Structure 1
Amino acid sequence: MAKSKVLVVGGTGYIGKRIVKACLTQGHETYVLQRREIGLDIDKLQMLISYKMEGARLVEGSFSDHQSLVEAVKLVDVVISAMSGVHFRSHNILLQLKLVEAIKEAGNVKRFFPSEFGMDPAKMEDALEPGNITFKEKMIVRKAIQEAHIPHTYVIANCFAGYFVGNLSQMTTLLPPKDNVVLYGDGNVKACFMAEDDVGTYAVKAIDDPRTLNKTIYIRPPENILSQRELVKMWENLSGKELNKHSISAEDFLAPMKDGEIAHQVGIGHFYHIFYEGCLTNFEVQEDEEASRLYPEVEYTRMNDYLKRYL
C-alpha cells in the first residue's frame, strides 16, 4: 500500500520534530509548514533546513493567509498538527481552528491529527480551574473537526518523559533530585510515561491504519504504567543512592494555586489530576485503542532505560 503524503504543522516544536523524524523514517512523503512568521528565529530556520536536507519538503504558509494554508493542505493526504504549548497557550486554539477551516475547504484530507498528545480532554470535564481551559479548548477543536466531517485520529500520549521521568516528577526541576524527593500523597497512584520519540513513532504508525480512523488512540504500554514511588525506586537502583522521601497531602499540594502565575497554577492542577486522582490510568482502554497492542513491532523505551541517560 502506498504511503500517505503528510503535512506536519508545528514541525519545529517539542513533539513536532519527533513526528517529522518518524514520518521520514517510516517512508512518508513529508511536508513541513514553514510559517512566514518565523522572522529571525535562527534555531527554527536551521531545523527546517535540516528537514529539507533529510528529504522533507518545506511549504510556506501563514495563519494570517487562509489561502496559503488551503494550498499547503491540498498537497497532502494527512495533516498532523503539533502546535501544543507547555501548560498554557490559549492562542493556539485560534490557530487550530484556522487549520480546521483550511482542511474543510481543501476537501482532500483523509486524516487529521489535531494537537493533543497529552491527557484525554474528553475525560477531564471536572478538571480544576484554570487548567481546565486546556481541555475545554481541545474539545472545541474536536467539535469543529466533527462538525466539518473531517476524518481524524486523536492521540493521547500521557506524560512526556522529559518533563516527568528524569526529575522523578518534581515540579521545580528537570534533573533528578540529589537528596530529597517529594511524593504526591503515598506515591502509589499509577501514571503512564512515554519517551517522546516513541510518541512520534506511534502517531505516525496510525496514519494509514483503518483501525484508528475517527478514534482516540492511547499510547499506554503496560510496562510504562508506573507509580511515582516505582519511578523513584528505579532511579535509586540505577544511581545506588537512596533518597529522602517527603509526602505532601493533596490539600497542601493545591494550596499554592491561590497565588502565583497562571502557568504555575495550571501545572499544579494537571499534576494533581495525574498523581492524586490517577486520571491517566483510572479507566479501561480497549485492545484496539492502545498503541502498543496495535503495533507490537515497536520497541518502545522502558523508563528504566530512559533514566540511564541521567547517570
Structure 2
Amino acid sequence: MEKNRYHLEKKKHDKEGLCFTNRVHHYQLLFTGETIFTRKKNSNKRKKQMATEISKILVIGGTGYIGKFVVDASAKAGHPTSVLVRESTVADPVKGKLVQSFKNSGVTLVYGDLNDHESLVNAIKQVDVVISTVGNMQIPDQTKIIAAIKEAGNVKRFFPSEFGVDVDRQNAVEPASSTFAGKVQIRRAIEAAGIPFTYVASGCFAGYFLPTMVQAGATAPPRDKVTILGDGSPKVIYNEEHDIGTYTIKAVDDPRTLNKILYIKPSKNTLSFNDLVSLWEKKIGKSLEKDYVPEEQVLKLIQESGFPINIFLAINHSIFVKGDLDNFEIEPSFGVEASELYPDVKYTTVEEYLDQFV
C-alpha cells in the first residue's frame, strides 16, 4: 500500500508540476521524486544582464565639433542619452537647430553650465557615464566636472575631452605643448580623484585634415603642387568623425577599456604623408610637384607666426614631423586599439574618404 501511495503521489506531483510550469513564465520546476528544485530561466537572466549593461550617458560639449558625432552615436546605440546645454545655446539660430535634431533623436536636454556646480551635480546624478567633448579653451574647466563627479558619487566612467594625440606620449613644441599639458593635468586630476576613466586618442579628424590635405589656405585637395612638412615619412592616423563617435560609445560599457587609453588606429587609416600623396595621385591620375619643408624651417615658422596659426603649425609639427601619433607601441598595461576590439565596425578608410574629392 505504501508503495502504491508513493506512485500515486509522484504522478500527482508530476501532473501538477507540468501545469504549474505552463502557468508560470519565470520559473522551471524540476522534479526528482518528492524533491523539487527551482531554477531561473537562463534566457530571462541574459535579458536582464543585457538591460543592465546599457549605461545612461551625459555628453558635456555635445554641440561642439566632435561632440555632435558622439551624441549621435550614443543615441543610435540605444543608450539613454543626455546633453548638457546652456539656454543661450538653444536660442542660438545655428546650434538651436542641432539641439532640435538631438531632441528628434530622443536625446534629453539638461540645462546647466560648467560654472554652475549644482546644475552639474544634478545632471551627473542622473547618469552612469560622463563624456566631455569641450573645446580646447575649456579643457582646464574640466576640473569642475571632476569635482561634480566626485560629489555625485555614482559615475562608473569618465571620458575627458581628448580625441587627438596621446598627450602622455608626444614631443610637441610651444605653443602646442602648453595645450597638451592642460590635457595631461586633467588626466592626473582624474586619476588622483580615483574616478574610473577612458582616454580616447583618435588621431586626426578626417574632416579637418583630408579635404585640403593640410595645405595652407586651400579649400580642396591639391591638383598641381603639394607642401609636405618634414620628409613625409612618419605614420599619421586619420579617422572619420562618425567612426570616432561609434568607437567611443562602444567603449562605454566595455571592461577592456576601463582605466585605459582607447587608440583608434585602424590599419587602413594609418599612413605616412608620402603615402597619402601617392594615394591621391593615383585617384586623380596625375603626379604632383612636391615641396618638402625641413623641420628647421617649420620651427622657424612656428616662432614667427601669431595666434592661432602658431598653434596649428606646432600641432602639425608634432603629428607630421615628429610622428607623435605612431612613434610608440601600444602596451596592454596602458592601452587598447579600437578596430581590434570591435572588428564588426565598418569604418571609413582614407581611400574611401578621398573619393568624394576626385
TM over 0.5: yes
Measured after TM superposition, the shift of residue 241 of structure 1 is: 2.6
Measured after TM superposition, the shift of residue 40 of structure 1 is: 4.6
Two-structure CA RMSD over aligned residues (Å): 1.5
Measured after TM superposition, the shift of residue 60 of structure 1 is: 0.6
Partner of 2:350: 303
- Selected match of 1:230 from 260, 275, 282: 275
- Find the residue that maps to 2:242 and give its secondary structure: helix
Aligned residue pairs, count: 305
- How big is each residue's C-alpha offset from its partner over 1:228-286, in whole Å with a ceiling of 9 and x where there is no partner? 11111211222223221111111112212222222211111111121111111111114
Measured after TM superposition, the shift of residue 133 of structure 1 is: 0.9
Kindly provide the amino acid, as one letter, of the partner of residue 142 in structure 2: Q
The alignment status of 1:292 with 2:339, answered yes or no, reads: yes
Mark the structure with the bigger radius of gyration. Answer: 2
- Selected match of 1:57 from 102, 108, 113: 108
> Where in structure 1 do 4 or more consecutive aligned residues deviate above 6 Å?
none
- Selected match of 1:216 from 239, 253, 261: 261
Aligned partners of 1:84 and 1:116 also within 8 Å: no
**Greater RCO (Cα-Cα under 8 Å, separation 6 or more):** 1
Residues in 2 aligned to 1:230 and 1:46: alpha-carbon distance in whole angstroms: 39
Residues 198-213 of structure 1: pairs in structure 2 closer than 5 A: 198-213=243-258
Residues in 1 aligned to 2:143 and 2:179: alpha-carbon distance in whole angstroms: 15
Measured after TM superposition, the shift of residue 138 of structure 1 is: 0.5
My pick for the range that moved more, 285-294 or 107-116, is 285-294
- Structure 1 unaligned segments of length 5 or more: list them: none
The alignment status of 1:9 with 2:60, answered yes or no, reads: yes
Measured after TM superposition, the shift of residue 53 of structure 1 is: 0.9
My pick for the range that moved more, 12-21 or 233-242, is 233-242
Kindly provide the amino acid, as one letter, of the partner of residue 102 in structure 1: A
- Structure 2 unaligned segments of length 5 or more: list them: 1-49
TM-score by length of 1: 0.94
Residues in 2 aligned to 1:98 and 1:294: alpha-carbon distance in whole angstroms: 32
Residues in 1 aligned to 2:161 and 2:259: alpha-carbon distance in whole angstroms: 15
Partner of 1:249: 294
My pick for the range that moved more, 175-184 or 148-157, is 175-184
Residues in 2 aligned to 1:169 and 1:65: alpha-carbon distance in whole angstroms: 39
Residues in 2 aligned to 1:233 and 1:177: alpha-carbon distance in whole angstroms: 12
TM-score by length of 2: 0.82
Residues 47-126 of structure 1: pairs in structure 2 closer than 5 A: 47-85=98-136, 89=137, 92-124=138-170, 126=171
- How big is each residue's C-alpha offset from its partner over 1:27-46, in whole Å with a ceiling of 9 and x where there is no partner? 11111111234275221111
Residues in 1 aligned to 2:267 and 2:145: alpha-carbon distance in whole angstroms: 34
- How big is each residue's C-alpha offset from its partner over 1:5-41, in whole Å with a ceiling of 9 and x where there is no partner? 0001111111101001100111111111112342752
Aligned partners of 2:302 and 2:313 also within 8 Å: yes
Partner of 1:44: 95
Residues in 2 aligned to 1:300 and 1:244: alpha-carbon distance in whole angstroms: 31
* Aligned CA distance change for structure 1 residues 59 and 40 (closer, same or farther; 3 Å): closer
Quote the sequence identity (%).
47
Aligned partners of 1:36 and 1:62 also within 8 Å: no
Partner of 1:187: 232
- Find the residue that maps to 2:114 and give its secondary structure: coil
- Find the residue that maps to 2:168 and give its secondary structure: helix
* Aligned CA distance change for structure 1 residues 57 and 40 (closer, same or farther; 3 Å): closer
Measured after TM superposition, the shift of residue 173 of structure 1 is: 2.9
Residues in 2 aligned to 1:185 and 1:279: alpha-carbon distance in whole angstroms: 13
